[in-house]
């Protein structure tokens, strides 16, 4: 993997030099302020992390090294990983090298399958996915090299080594979990050197010969790859990695965050929501009936899955990319039709709901992704977050390789108590009063 190592090494040097220059001039300058609202509001809007793999503009969505979704939605997950970690798309020889490396690393140790087979069948596939990754932690090259006392300048190199192993294995692990839970339990093997998407599609074992299903899987693995460093899953993986835990620990931890319904599990929740609509109203519900259903859901104190976002303030461009795919390949799907009806109905309702308190009434990626998979026969919607997770791991790995290269310190923000806050604000008020009195 000479070419990849050279490119990543160069990127780390450039990023390090840039940051050192900025630091020399501005080490004590203020980059933001923290209000009590930020503190109590899930640190929303607080600038607290540097992440060079991707950037989310509230009005334009995801950027990777300056590229917007239309620039990269036709690429493969391998190309996207290369872009995330090096900042450039691979040339043909670099891509060839990466594909060969990944194909050689795609085997899951037998003990992982035995462990997964021993689990109860009502377990969630995300739990199996996270456990499967954690179970392979003993294979970490970084861990071994750290124990041997390797120089910390080389930490990133072994994090890259671990990342390639992990990225290669995840489609195999995920497809195996699908077979164990939802098919007859036989895991499909392959001796062919397949790319990540084809390996995944082949091992799922259904709809294999449908090129648009393979293309949907590719798109799925591309669009979910990264969304800055502060989202629940990426931030968790960054924190865990910052303790010099290896990438298996960091990824498993990040995926446990992705498994929450306010984050990656929202795609499963969306399909569940549409299924509920179809069960109650038939699979061609009228606009008015769907509107009433949405209102009743909100009145029952529930959220509308797939709508809203902590950063975005427009329709998620990833939603639009999936919609384009749906219009091209499965426009008649009743699930996609209901997604469209919801897109018409939900934003105006959410805009006015709770006196306009909802920051973003527009759909995010999860409002549509599952409905397309459902159309192609992946009806076990508990699995959708696992696919999100394969893709998001590309971002975890890229972020953590770079963080190691930049020798990011252990992440440890300060927490305070209610008493601390009371005392702090009281002393500020007293200071203010003293200052006022002092002024003639
Ligand atoms: N339905 C109902 N209420 C919603 C809502 C929705 N889709 N989105 C936001 N709200 C509510 C919040 O619950 C909050 O209510 P509260 O003050 O009573 O607690 C209020 O509106 C203000 O929240 P916000 O500032 O608009 O959003 P946030 O940044 O706190 O949260 C998110 C963002 C995504 C968690 C939220 O919009 C949500 O719960 N959406 C539905 C779940 C979902 O689709 N998650 C996936 C997000 C993308 C991803 O990570 N994969």
List beta partners, residue 74: none
* CATH 1.10.580.10 segments of the chain: 2-24+45-261+383-405
CATH of 266-380, one of 3.40.640.10, 1.10.230.10, 1.10.3720.10, 3.40.50.720: 1.10.230.10
Task: Please count the other Cβ atoms lying within 10 Å of the Cβ belonging to residue 61.
Answer: 25
Region 175-199: mean pLDDT is 93
Task: Confirm or reject: Cβ of 359 under 6 Å from ligand 1.
Answer: yes
Q: Which CATH class is domain 2-24+45-261+383-405?
A: mainly alpha
| Two structure tokens written together for 399 | 């972020």
Residue 263 designated active-site: yes
Q: Which one of the listed residues 263, 272, 352, 375 is annotated catalytic?
A: 263
Indicate if 279 belongs to the active site. no
Partner residues linked to 61 by β-bridges: 57
Instruction: Round to whole Å and give the CA distance between 396 and 73.
Output: 19
Kindly tell me if the per-residue pLDDT of 26 is higher than 90: yes
% of residues, the chain, pLDDT over 90: 95
DSSP tally for the chain: helices H, then strands E? 20, 3
Q: Which of 309, 327, 355, 375 is catalytic?
A: 309
pLDDT digits (tens, 9 = 90+) for 380-405: 999 999 999 999 999 999 999 999 99
Of all protein residues, whose CA lies closest to atom 34 belonging to ligand 1? 309
What's the number of CA atoms in the CB half-sphere (13 Å) around residue 367? 30
- Report pLDDT digits (tens) over 317-358: 999 999 999 999 999 999 999 999 999 999 999 999 989 999
Q: Is the CB of 305 under 6 A from ligand 1?
A: yes
Residues of the chain with CATH 1.10.230.10: 266-380
d(C-alpha 321, C-alpha 222), whole Å? 11
CB 304 near ligand 1, within 6 Å: yes
CA 96/CA 141 separation, integer angstroms:
23
pLDDT tens-digit readout, 102-160: 999 999 999 999 999 999 999 999 999 999 999 999 999 999 999 999 999 999 999 99
Q: Could you identify the atom of ligand 1 that is nearest to the CA of residue 44?
A: 29
Note if 309 is an active site residue.
yes
Percent of the residues in the chain that have a pLDDT greater than 70, as a whole number: 98
CA of 308 to the centre of ligand 1 (A): 5
Q: Is the pLDDT reported for residue 43 higher than 80?
A: yes
């Amino acid at each position: 993997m000479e070419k990849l190592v050279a490119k990543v090494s160069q990127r780390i040097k450039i990023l390090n030099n840039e940051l050192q220059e900025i630091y020399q001039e501005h080490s004590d300058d203020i980059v933001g302020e923290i209000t009590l609202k930020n503190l109590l509001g899930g640190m929303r809007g607080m600038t607290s992390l540097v992440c060079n793999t991707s950037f989310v503009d509230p009005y334009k969505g995801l950027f990777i090294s300056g590229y917007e979704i239309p620039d990269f939605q036709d690429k493969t997950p391998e190309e996207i990983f290369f872009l995330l970690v090096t900042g450039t798309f691979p040339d043909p020889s670099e891509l060839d090298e990466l594909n060969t490396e990944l194909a050689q690393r795609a085997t899951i140790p037998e003990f992982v399958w035995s462990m997964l087979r021993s689990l109860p069948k009502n377990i969630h596939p995300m739990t199996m996915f996270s456990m499967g990754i954690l179970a392979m932690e003993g294979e970490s090259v970084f861990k071994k090299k750290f124990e041997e006392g390797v120089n910390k300048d080389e930490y990133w190199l072994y994090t890259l080594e671990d990342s390639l192993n992990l990225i290669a294995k995840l489609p195999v692990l995920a497809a195996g979990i699908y077979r164990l839970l939802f098919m007859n339990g036989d895991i499909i093997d392959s001796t062919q050197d397949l790319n990540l998407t084809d390996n995944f599609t082949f091992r799922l074992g259904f709809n294999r010969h449908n090129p648009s299903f393979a293309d949907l899987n590719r798109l799925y693995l591309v669009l979910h790859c990264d969304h800055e460093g502060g989202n629940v899953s990426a931030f968790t993986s960054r924190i865990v990695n910052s303790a010099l835990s290896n990438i298996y620990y960091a990824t498993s931890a990040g995926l446990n965050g992705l498994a929450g319904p306010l984050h990656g599990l929202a795609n499963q929740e969306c399909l569940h929501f549409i299924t509920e609509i179809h069960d109650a109203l038939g699979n061609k519900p009228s606009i008015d009936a769907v509107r009433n259903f949405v209102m009743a859901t909100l009145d029952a104190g529930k959220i509308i899955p797939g709508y809203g976002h902590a950063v975005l303030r427009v329709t998620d461009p990833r939603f639009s990319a999936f919609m384009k795919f749906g219009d091209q390949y499965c426009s008649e799907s009743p699930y996609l039709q209901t997604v469209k009806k919801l897109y018409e109905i939900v934003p105006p309702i959410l805009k006015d709901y709770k006196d306009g308190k909802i920051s973003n009434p527009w759909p995010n990626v999860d409002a549509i992704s599952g409905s397309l998979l459902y159309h192609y026969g992946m009806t076990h919607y508990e699995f959708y977050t696992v696919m999100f997770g394969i893709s998001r791991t590309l971002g975890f790995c890229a972020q953590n390789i770079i963080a190691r290269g930049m020798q990011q310190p252990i992440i440890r923000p300060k927490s305070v108590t209610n008493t601390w806050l009371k005392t702090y604000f009281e002393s500020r008020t007293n200071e203010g009063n003293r200052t006022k009195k002092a002024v003639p």
